[in-house]
Amino acid sequence: MMLYVVLYMHVSHRCIFNIGLLTKELEVKLIDFSVGEKYLVSYSEYDRKGAALKIFDVKSGEVKMAIERSQGENATGEIGGISHVAWPFFRWSGRNDDKYFARIEKNAIYIYETKTFGLIDNEPLKAENVMDFCWSPTDPVIALFVPTDADEMQPARVSLIHVPNKEELKKKNLNGVRPCKMFWQSNGEYLAVLFNQFNGTRSTTYQRFVIFGIKDPGIPVEDFELENENDMIIAFSWEPKGQRFAVIHALDQRQNVSFYSVIKAHNRFQFSKLVTLEVEQAGSLHWSPAGRFSLLAAMRGCVGDLIFYDVDALGTLAIERFEATNIEWSPTGRYVATIRTLSDELDVRQEEFQERVMIWSFFGVLLYQIPRKHFTQFWWRPRPSHSSSTQEIQDVLEVVNELDIDLDNDLDNLIHFDDVDNEDKEVFTLSTEQLSSWKAPEGWDQWWTEIGRMMNKNRNAALKELERKEEELDG
């Protein structure tokens, strides 16, 4: 029996890619796309040629790379074999050019380039006891974490590595540190590292942050601590494309959500707390893709409050009771969906449960409620990126700014008309009288009225067409 797997490139609409005739015996279990969707990675538990993992070119369907399952030590040479699979197996560089990808092994990170699909410099990046790594979302930079060694002679460290030259841009040693979590800001401007740190007697651990200023000269590193060092940090989240971040923290039964802003000064930066909110349950925080607005939710199947919050105004927009297993913002940030699917996380009887999707506006108004039986997953349709280059956008903005300046000058002259010299007033008055005397016999007023009517008609038609296209894009 043949199994066809067809994958649609719905973002770019470049093509429809048929992986091929995948027989049941291939047992393809996992797939993953590169960031720019140029390549597809598949993993199968069995392949007659022994290749458990393959990378396909999406346009042509050509197999660009294949890795065999481990068959003894060093069975596949320098690229190593697959002894276990943590998915996604490869981590792609954050930029859409899909130029680099990497994977982690014991004591090394294997970094590949898609130009040759071979290792950069034909050897991995050596990092003894490396535990984790992640790519910058905008630059060819890897952040890696190496924990304290077994005898605690060497401190833990976080290093920033530039690709492809593998130059170490910055290193931060961390004493008495357990495993950490790393959080990139979407513009690649900051990297926050959350870790647990022992006190002097090693009887207690505290949670700490260090934050790297990636784009600043010298890449400064600043420590960040909550006001109460005993608080447990539940979640951390950067504002997309912004300078703010949020921390959900708790002590005993009390939960708080604090918003902070990064303030730069003299090649350094510091943190200013904007507000702290007391909440009953807040297991997750979801920023709008456009920034400014955020949602606080209990999640994990708990019935709790869905809090719509405006970080600019530091005010709550709406509070709704809800029960959901997932939250998804639309790519534009205009709408947000709360999704409820049947899962082990929900403590309900299946016959009493109703799967559904609820669509909200960004300020907390319920727009649609869609019940669906056997509903399991929900995705928004991606928004294609605009075709204009950065320079073209900059040129348009410069023209708009110039027009704004001219308009401001004209308005200023009208506002201060009474302050001008009498001679100028006489010239202006004479000019307007001559214009009025010309308009009447020539029928200028009637002509201009007709032009205005036609312009309004065309404008209304254009607005309706624009609204129709927006509705089509929003699905």
Q: What is the full DSSP assignment across 371-411?
A: E-TT-----PPPPPPPS--HHHHHHHHHHHHHHHHHHHHHH
Spatial distance between the Cα atoms of 196 and 174, rounded to a whole number of angstroms: 10
Per the structure, the count of domains in the chain is: 1
- 9 falls in which pLDDT band (50, 70, 90)? very low
Helix (H, G, I), strand (E, B) or coil at 322: strand
50: domain range? Answer: 1-89
Quote the CA–CA distance of 407 and 429 in Å, as a whole number.
22
- % of the chain exceeding 90 in pLDDT: 36
Rounded Cα distance, 213 and 271, in Å: 12
CA-CA-CA-CA torsion for 461, 466, 471, 474, nearest 10 degrees? 180
Would you say residue 282 lies in a domain?
Answer: no
Q: What is the mean pLDDT of residues 183-192?
A: 95
d(CA 110, CA 76): 14
Q: Is the pLDDT of residue 306 over 50?
A: yes
In a domain? residue 54? yes
pLDDT at 411: 67
Please return the burial class of 183, using the count of CB atoms within 10 Å of its CB with bins 0-12, 13-18 and 19+: middle
**Section 217-223 average pLDDT:** 93
Distance CA 208, CA 149 (A): 20
Per-residue confidence band for 87, with pLDDT thresholds at 50, 70 and 90: confident
Are 233 and 245 within 8 A, CB to CB?
A: no
For all residues of the chain together, what is the average pLDDT?
Answer: 79
Question: What is the pTM (predicted TM-score) of this model?
Answer: 0.73
Note whether residue 380 is domain-resident.
no
Do residues 112 and 100 lie in contact, with contact meaning Cβ atoms separated by under 8 Å? Answer: yes
Distance CA 452, CA 431 (A): 23
Write the DSSP symbol of residue 263.
E
In a domain, 340, yes or no: no
Decide: helix, strand or coil at residue 302: coil
**Bridge partners for 233 per DSSP:** 249
The conformational region for residue 435 under phi > 0 = left, psi -120 to 50 = alpha, else beta, is alpha
